[in-house]
């Protein structure tokens, strides 16, 4: 059996098969939007396409369920287009080739789109069904979740009528998600005067490398090193002890990745060169010892280089080094509501110093919006002190975990009744559409769940077949138990 259309629940897998046949990478959702709209119309359901291209389909309650709270199923229509380098595939034209590998459904050499195609197919199955009992339902299919969330950002208030939002975009069957982090970008830019390099100096390129990096939210509490932090701590002491002059520096390249590599170009009085080399080796030892558990491949090293023509003026150098050194980074606060969850963090992601311009870019996250703002302002304050031009941009709200959420209670009980175990309750220190939706619709009781998906966003993406059955049965079981309005 190689055709996924024969898997159970059959209707769900048939819709998923349809979805795999329609190219739908992020920002190219036109065809899949048409498909979902045609589906809504075919089933005589109220179908709306909003201003930005999200689709909303409404289905009235089944008989005897009219008094229940309204449920919104939320999924995203786009998928991440990733393929193996040897695979010939055009994501704007070619269908995804699916195959069954034991307990899993996979794609041949590309992402599968089970993130979030299974959620979309599950929603369609409920919308098309004549047998599943449920209260009033709205299905919200958003666009562009994977590359900027412009769909959910563009969603207008007042459009959705439901009381409970079920996001079907989680990736571990048996887990219920009840929170996520919001984020805000904090940048600081400052120009500085350069001056001619002093005479009698030796030049070194100092490097921090071999770090693991990782996702700036999900991996922020793993105790990994931030290469920018290593570099500027070193620079602070190097300036004090050796009178180094800074010519340039750079570290990190993505706001949402923990920086793995940084370098600086520094000048040291020639007579102190040997001592300086030993000093760098000392820092290598210190850092290796401090991060022995988390960064086994860390290297802090230098190589001699030709003396650059210009360096930063001493006053700005003093201030900039100290500002980067004290800038908050890493976990700022752990959640008090959920054990082990990071509430607030900052990633000192990017630092660049070159040709008279200093820049730094930070991504600050929190599930508590006021804490996110306070941390962003703390970072801003540090760079205000050195007269940098500071900007707070691209802010989006978090979803503060509510462990007393009524739908969480209902679903925990339903799951326990069905499968004899309480589901795990979780939150994620990263952005989800729920955070933004909750910002627009603050009264929604929200929850997120889904089937088991592994390696999403990569050509190894796969969805666990048995978990789809459990996920869908759980969804239908929950619908029966949705409380009266």
Token pair recorded at residue 449: 């769940």
445 binds Zn ion (CB under 5 A): no
Question: Helix count (H) and strand count (E) of the chain?
Answer: 11, 23
369 binds Zn ion (CB under 5 A): no
Residue 71 or 120: which CB sits closer to Zn ion?
A: 120
Residue 115 or 295: which CB sits closer to Zn ion?
A: 115
Q: How many residues bind Zn ion (CB under 5 A)?
A: 3
Q: Please tell me the distance from the alpha carbon of residue 417 to that of residue 435, in angstroms, as a whole number.
A: 29
Give whole-number Cα distances, 359 to 250, 311, 464, in Å. 9, 16, 45
Is residue 241 within a helix (H) or strand (E), and if so which, with residue range? helix 227-242
Give the nearest distance from C-beta 249 to Zn ion in angstroms.
36
Residue 76 or 260: which CB sits closer to Zn ion?
A: 76
Residue 170 or 367: which CB sits closer to Zn ion?
A: 170
Give the nearest distance from C-beta 170 to Zn ion in angstroms.
9
Give the nearest distance from C-beta 446 to Zn ion in angstroms.
16
461 binds Zn ion (CB under 5 A): no
DSSP string, 252-313: ---TTB----EEEEEEEEGGGHHHHHHHHHHHHHHHHHHTTTT-TT-EEEEEEEPPPSEEE-
Give the nearest distance from C-beta 439 to Zn ion in angstroms.
19
Binding mask 111-140 for Zn ion (x = CB under 5 A): ----xx------------------------
227 binds Zn ion (CB under 5 A): no
> Is there a contact between 125 and 168 (Cβ–Cβ < 8 Å)?
no
Of the candidates 50, 29, 182, 44, the one whose C-alpha atom is nearest the C-alpha of residue 120 is: 29
74 binds Zn ion (CB under 5 A): no
Phi and psi of 9, rounded to 5°? -70, 130
Is residue 474 within a helix (H) or strand (E), and if so which, with residue range? helix 465-481
Residue 112 or 206: which CB sits closer to Zn ion?
A: 112
Residue 54 or 410: which CB sits closer to Zn ion?
A: 54
From the list 109-117, 299-307, 337-345, 349-357, the region that binds Zn ion by CB under 5 A is 109-117
163 binds Zn ion (CB under 5 A): no
DSSP string, 399-452: B---TT-HHHHHHHHHHHHHHSSPPEEEEESS--HHHHHHHHSTT-EEEE----
* Beta-bridge partner residues of 425: 176
Q: What residues act catalytically?
A: 78, 145
Give the nearest distance from C-beta 408 to Zn ion in angstroms.
21
Among 163, 169, 173, 248, binds Zn ion (CB under 5 A): 169
From the list 59-67, 162-170, 352-360, 467-475, the region that binds Zn ion by CB under 5 A is 162-170
Token pair recorded at residue 93: 């034209």
Give the nearest distance from C-beta 188 to Zn ion in angstroms.
32
Interface ranges with Zn ion (CB under 5 A): 115-116, 169
């Amino acid at each position: 059996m190689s055709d996924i259309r024969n898997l159970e629940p059959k209707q769900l897998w048939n819709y998923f098969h349809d979805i795999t046949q329609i190219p739908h990478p992020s920002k190219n959702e036109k065809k899949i939007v048409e498909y979902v709209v045609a589906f809504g119309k075919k089933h005589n359901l109220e179908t709306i396409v909003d201003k930005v291209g999200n689709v909303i389909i409404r289905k009235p309650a089944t008989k005897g369920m009219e008094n229940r709270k309204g449920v919104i199923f939320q999924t995203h229509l786009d998928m991440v287009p990733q393929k193996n380098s040897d695979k010939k595939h055009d994501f704007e034209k070619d269908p995804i080739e699916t195959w069954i590998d034991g307990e899993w459904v996979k794609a041949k050499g590309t992402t599968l789109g089970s993130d979030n195609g299974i959620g979309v197919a599950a929603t369609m199955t409920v919308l098309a069904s004549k047998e599943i009992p449920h209260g009033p339902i709205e299905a919200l299919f958003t666009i562009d979740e994977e590359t900027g969330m412009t769909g959910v950002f563009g969603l207008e208030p007042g459009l959705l009528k439901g009381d409970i939002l079920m996001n079907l975009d989680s990736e571990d069957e048996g887990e219920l998600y009840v929170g996520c982090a919001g984020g805000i970008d904090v940048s600081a830019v400052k120009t500085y005067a350069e001056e001619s390099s002093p005479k009698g100096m030796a030049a070194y390129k100092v490097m921090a490398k071999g770090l693991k990096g990782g996702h700036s939210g999900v991996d922020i509490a793993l105790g990994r090193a931030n290469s920018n932090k290593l570099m500027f701590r070193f620079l602070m002491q190097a300036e004090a002890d050796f009178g180094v002059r800074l010519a340039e520096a750079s570290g990190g390249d993505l706001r949402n990745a923990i920086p793995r590599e940084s370098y600086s170009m520094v000048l040291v009085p020639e007579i102190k060169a040997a001592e300086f080399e030993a000093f760098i080796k000392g820092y290598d030892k210190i850092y290796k010892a401090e991060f022995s558990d988390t960064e086994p491949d860390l290297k802090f090293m230098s190589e001699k280089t030709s003396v650059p023509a210009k360096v930063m003026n001493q006053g700005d150098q003093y201030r900039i080094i100290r500002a980067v050194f004290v800038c908050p980074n890493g976990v700022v606060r752990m959640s008090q509501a959920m054990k082990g969850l990071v509430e607030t963090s900052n990633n000192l992601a990017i630092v660049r110093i070159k040709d008279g311009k200093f820049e730094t870019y930070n991504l600050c996250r929190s599930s508590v919006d006021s804490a996110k703002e306070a941390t962003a302002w703390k970072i801003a304050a540090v760079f205000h002190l050195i007269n940098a031009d500071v900007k707070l941009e691209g802010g989006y709200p978090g979803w503060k975990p509510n462990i007393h959420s009524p739908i969480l209670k209902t679903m925990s009980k339903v799951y326990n009744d069905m499968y004899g175990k309480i589901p795990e309750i979780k939150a994620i220190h990263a952005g989800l559409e729920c955070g933004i939706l909750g910002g627009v619709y603050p009264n929604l009781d929200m929850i997120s769940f889904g089937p088991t998906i592994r390696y999403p966003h990569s050509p190894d993406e796969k969805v666990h077949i048995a978990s789809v059955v459990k996920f869908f049965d759980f969804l239908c079981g929950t619908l029966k138990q949705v409380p009266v309005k």
